[in-house]
Structure 1
Amino acid sequence: MAELPRHALEDDGTYRGLEFKGGDLTSRQADAVDYEGCRFVTTSFAGTQLRRAGFVDVELERCDLSNMTARTSGMHRTRTSATRLTGMTWTECTFRDVLFDACRADLTGFRFSTFKNAVFRDCVMREANFQNADLRGVRFERCDLSGAQFSQAQMDGAHFSDCVLLGIGGVTSLKGAIVAGRDAQGLALALAGALGILIEE
């Protein structure tokens, strides 16, 4: 198990096969840091700023990524579970073969990011921002997406199952998405609002 801060975030740092438990990596800044085959448990990245970072074959469990920011970074073959992501912003990033499971992800930002083989499951994602993101084929399962923003997103084949879709923005960008019938009411209300239709009780 890696100890902190000896094994910490450093520019051009590469960390392989390490387990970080209960570590404090808050409010750091790093460029071109890579984690491969690592496991993070109850580790905090709150407020940390990353650029060109890579997380490959990584597991994050019960961590705190709130208000973390990353640009031109990536998560590949990564599982993030029971983790706080509130206010986290990953812009122009790549997510491939990833699972976000039972995470608190309200107010997260994924603008201009690309997702491939990605699943969000049992996540609270109120007011998440997916503007201009590539969400083709992404699965949202039992997620609360109230007030989420999808303007100009690519949504072909994206799948929503047992999700809350009340008040979402950019609803017309959901062309090509698959929505379970039981989720359609919230989506219909958002679509009516986007078209200027008033629905009377």
Structure 2
Amino acid sequence: MSYIINDEDEFNELTIKDCSIEESNACNVIFRDVVFKNVSFMDIDWESTEFLHVRFENCDLSNINIDKAIFHHSEFISCKLIGTHLMESSMREVLFNGCQCDYLVLGGSNLKDVTFNECRMNQAGFSVCKMNNVQFKYCEMQRAELSGTKLKGIDLSSCIIDGINLRIEDVRGLRLSPTQAVDFSKMLGIQVMEEREGSI
């Protein structure tokens, strides 16, 4: 089955599986109570689309544009989002589980009650995001970009964060492991001295 998607279309209570959706350019589309399973998305530009109670399972959404989207009560399970553009999006109660998210672009987005679990997110972009109860669990985030994002309450202690890029004014309240804290202090030019015997 092929799906032709036009501006302001609505799709409700569907399961879309084992197919490709290609060369689609539409905006203000609404997907409600939809499951995408084993779907490849190619040459997609769906700006300002709403995903309400939507589940993506084993889907490939790499290098597509879904900027300014709304995601509520949605899940990405074992998906590829390599280079996917989700800039200036709004996410509420969203789960990314076991996803490949290298180069994912979420700059300027508003994230609340969002969990990234065991995701690979190297060089992902989270600059100038608003985060409220966002959890990163056992993620690989080497050279990720978080500059301009307030990190109070964010816990990266279980993640790999080598080369992460952020601003000193945004790190207040950031939670790190002891090893990460030492590495992070070096990145900031802070010298951590070993205690000497006999010192006062």
Q: TM-score, normalised by structure 1?
A: 0.88
Give the whole-Å Cα distance in 2 for the aligned partners of 1:12 and 1:187. 48
The answer on whether the counterparts of 2:5 and 2:26 sit within 8 Å (CA) in structure 1 is yes
Matched, 1:177 2:174: yes
Shifted more, 23-32 versus 116-125: the winner is 23-32
RMSD over equivalenced CA pairs, Å: 1.7
Matched, 1:101 2:81: no
Aligned-residue identity in percent? 25
2:30 aligned partner, one-letter code: D
Structure 2 gaps, min length 5: 193-200
Paired position in structure 2 for 1:189: 183
In the TM superposition, 1:75-86 aligns within 5 A as 75-86=71-82
Give the whole-Å Cα distance in 1 for the aligned partners of 2:97 and 2:66. 20
Structure 1 gaps, min length 5: none
Q: Per the alignment, do residues 197 and 160 of structure 1 end up closer, same or farther by CA in structure 2, a change over 3 Å counting? A: closer
Of residues 6, 20, 43, the one that matches 2:39 is 43
Shifted more, 37-46 versus 101-110: the winner is 37-46
Give the whole-Å Cα distance in 1 for the aligned partners of 2:17 and 2:141. 30
Give the secondary-structure state (helix, strand or coil) at the position aligned to 1:192: helix
Paired position in structure 1 for 2:2: 4
Give aligned pairs, total: 191
Give the whole-Å Cα distance in 1 for the aligned partners of 2:190 and 2:51. 45
Paired position in structure 2 for 1:134: 130
Give the whole-Å Cα distance in 1 for the aligned partners of 2:183 and 2:167. 10
Q: TM-score, normalised by structure 2?
A: 0.89
Larger Rg: 2
> If each structure's strand is expressed as a fraction of its own residues, which one has the higher value?
2
Paired position in structure 2 for 1:167: 163
Of residues 73, 87, 96, the one that matches 2:83 is 87
Q: Deviations over 1:135-178 (max 9, x none)?
A: 23200001000100110002222222421011100152232222
